[in-house]
């Protein structure tokens, strides 16, 4: 498999964690999201993903998959338990895991991604302080809900193993630190992040471990 990725892309980071938890080998194809106007807008990448977003996964069969949550569910389906389960077995826990993952992937990340920042700075004339405040506002709102919704006694968001919820949370925590969000109000999320970061799969997927890390 081939993963189109960028070390700092949190959506690609999710897929890197999923691939590592499943023990699947892949080749990294770095696409620089900033340099030269952004590799995501170049014709060779748009031919891979017409949406011009990372990640994209080229499967062993030659199919291109896009959207991190769809890719992660694909990995779960081609590599089901006993390989690391990205979703719990029972329907209620699965729904909780998907809801937590979607707080990050649907409600925080889309209004905080690079193109939104670029629009705020360019079209709306926002300065760096205003852009930072925007990013932190939406992260804090989502994290406030997540802090209440994760298990109160577990090491992970739901249950005793990392799931899609943790896979979405950890890269978002990376973004939160990058934008200087005060994490003191989110002690559960900080503890879950720390537990996950100690696992080899999360370490292998971390931005600093990527071949294109700067
Ligand atoms: N919903 C998409 C989000 C993808 C996305 O926004 N990717 C970002 C990197 S984290 C990107 O490629 N941004 C480039 C841009 O905004 O121009 C997913 O989960 O895969």
3-state SS track over 150-176: CCCCCCCCCCCCCCHHHHHHHHHHHHH
Is the pTM for the entire model greater than 0.75?
yes
What domain count does the chain have? Answer: 2
What CATH number should be reported for the domain holding residue 138? 1.20.1050.10
Ligand 1 atom closest to 33 (CA): 14
Please indicate, yes or no, if residue 111 is contained in any of the structural domains: yes
Same domain, 13 and 104: no
Q: Shortest CA distance to 19 belongs to which of 61, 62, 78, 64?
A: 78
Same domain, 120 and 43: no
CA–centroid distance, 26 to ligand 1, in Å, is: 20
Ligand 1 pocket, residue 68 CB under 6 Å: yes
Residue ending a domain, choose from 83, 104, 128: 83
Please indicate, yes or no, if residue 206 is contained in any of the structural domains: no
Ligand 1 pocket, residue 115 CB under 6 Å: yes
Same domain, 39 and 139: no
Ligand 1 pocket, residue 10 CB under 6 Å: yes
Ligand 1 pocket, residue 112 CB under 6 Å: no
Burial class (CB in 10 A: 0-12, 13-18, 19+), 160: exposed
Please indicate, yes or no, if residue 140 is contained in any of the structural domains: yes
Same domain, 123 and 65: no
pLDDT tens, residue order, the chain (214 aa): 999 999 999 999 999 999 999 999 999 999 999 999 999 999 999 999 999 999 999 999 999 999 999 999 999 999 998 899 999 999 999 999 999 999 999 999 999 999 999 999 999 999 999 999 999 999 999 999 999 999 999 999 999 999 999 999 999 999 999 999 999 999 999 999 999 999 999 999 999 999 999 9
Q: Do 2 and 29 meet the contact criterion of CB atoms below 8 Å apart?
A: yes
Same domain, 196 and 96: yes
CA–centroid distance, 65 to ligand 1, in Å, is: 13
* Range(s) of the domain holding residue 188: 91-201
Ligand 1 pocket, residue 53 CB under 6 Å: yes
Please indicate, yes or no, if residue 210 is contained in any of the structural domains: no
Please indicate, yes or no, if residue 58 is contained in any of the structural domains: yes
Same domain, 54 and 74: yes
Please indicate, yes or no, if residue 214 is contained in any of the structural domains: no
């Amino acid at each position: 498999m081939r993963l189109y990725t960028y070390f700092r892309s949190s959506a690609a980071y999710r897929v890197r964690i999923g691939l590592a938890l499943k023990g699947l080998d892949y080749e990294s194809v770095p696409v620089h999201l900033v340099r030269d106007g952004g590799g995501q807008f170049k014709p060779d990448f748009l031919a891979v993903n017409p949406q011009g977003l990372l990640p994209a996964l080229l499967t062993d069969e030659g199919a291109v998959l896009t959207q991190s949550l769809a890719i992660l569910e694909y990995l779960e389906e081609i590599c089901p338990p006993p390989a690391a389960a990205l979703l719990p077995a029972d329907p209620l826990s699965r729904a909780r895991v998907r809801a937590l993952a979607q707080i990050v992937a649907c409600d925080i990340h889309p209004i905080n991604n690079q193109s939104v920042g670029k629009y705020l700075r360019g079209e709306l004339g926002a300065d760096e302080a205003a852009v930072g405040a925007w990013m932190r506002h939406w992260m804090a709102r989502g994290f406030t809900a997540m802090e209440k919704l994760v298990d109160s006694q577990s090491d992970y968001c739901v249950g005793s193993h990392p799931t899609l919820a943790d896979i979405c949370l950890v890269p978002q925590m990376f973004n939160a630190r990058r934008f200087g969000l005060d994490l003191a109000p989110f002690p559960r999320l900080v503890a879950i992040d720390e537990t996950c970061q100690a696992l080899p799969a999360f370490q292998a997927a971390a931005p600093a471990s990527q071949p294109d890390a700067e």
